[in-house]
Structure 1
């Protein structure tokens, strides 16, 4: 294997744990909309890394697709504010590790999250100076393999290594 020319990190489950904040955002929206439903940490933890379309099908099977999308959009709006306030748990050594790696490689973040969430994470974690670019599933609703290729093409990368908690 050739030496990598860049590192592309998954976010949720790899760099941090924000499941409690994510669950809180769901439950706040359900409460505000008068929906008698509670999402637990355990339920969401098993869905980390899933695309939003699959998450909303599993979490809200009782609603039609358009209603699911509407609720999910509201959850994501709420999540933007909550990440600033509540954040998550940055895994031990992540910030120092990224600093060391950024000395040798351009670093990127790619996730199956909603548009804007990666930026919220980068700002919350204080790692903006370490990350060259990011791409969220919510930008184009394409799978990770497609978005990895987009990042590689955009930045002229040949030997990227993807680092994540799922294949």
Structure 2
């Protein structure tokens, strides 16, 4: 675990998938249901497939998973998955990581909290509703809102809320690379889906550790 970083930041920007919750099982169910509505997807969609693309933008996900589809079919399937995903998540939710609410409650008393994710529009709202967590966050931004990369969304949040010393918490190499482009320090959540070998200012093995260092 990292040494103390107390009193170094005025705000915390969180990634969502792999950092605050794991919705991959539910998303796999949703996308598999969408597959049943078409005849052009070759294989069943599993939780492992979903885990393999966590952190990518919603457009990039379908390019990686279904490279054999032309643009029209890929867009059609993506739109079907988006609808099934939100509907299924509204019913089943995702798995909140241990100590999530305790951590957010404590941190919101010291910092402004934000969410920046590569998810589609409506996904962050499902997380907020499922976990009753929106009360802890000052603002949020996602790929689906403007269709721009994560580092631009981070920079927008920093500018829109006049943040002077933010830090980003994420679980993938892509998260880290986005923070480099945005000029924001990075804390690696090692319990998530990815691996980051260097560049982070701290590594946490759980949200309880985040409370300890911040």
Same fold? TM cut 0.5: yes
Alpha-carbon RMSD across the aligned residues, in angstroms, is 1.4
Task: Tell me the CA shift for residue 125 of structure 1.
Answer: 0.7
**Residue 165 of structure 2, aligned match among 152, 159, 165:** 159
d(CA) in 1 for partners of 2:89 and 2:33?
A: 14
d(CA) in 1 for partners of 2:16 and 2:95?
A: 12
The residue correspondences of 1:10-159 to structure 2 (distance < 5 A) are 10-34=15-39, 35-159=41-165
Secondary structure of the structure 1 residue equivalent to 2:12: strand
Q: Is the 8 A contact 1:30 1:36 kept in 2?
A: no
- Between stretches 32-41 and 19-28, larger displacement belongs to 32-41
What residue ranges of structure 1 are gaps of 5+ in the alignment? Answer: none
Task: Tell me the CA shift for residue 59 of structure 1.
Answer: 1.4
Relative contact order, higher structure (CA 8 A, sep 6+): 1
1:4 — aligned with what? Answer: 9
TM-score w.r.t. length of structure 1? 0.94
Task: Tell me the CA shift for residue 46 of structure 1.
Answer: 1.6
Runs (4+) of structure 1 exceeding 3 A deviation are none
Task: Tell me the CA shift for residue 36 of structure 1.
Answer: 4.5
d(CA) in 2 for partners of 1:61 and 1:4?
A: 42
d(CA) in 1 for partners of 2:19 and 2:123?
A: 15
What residue ranges of structure 2 are gaps of 5+ in the alignment? Answer: 177-214
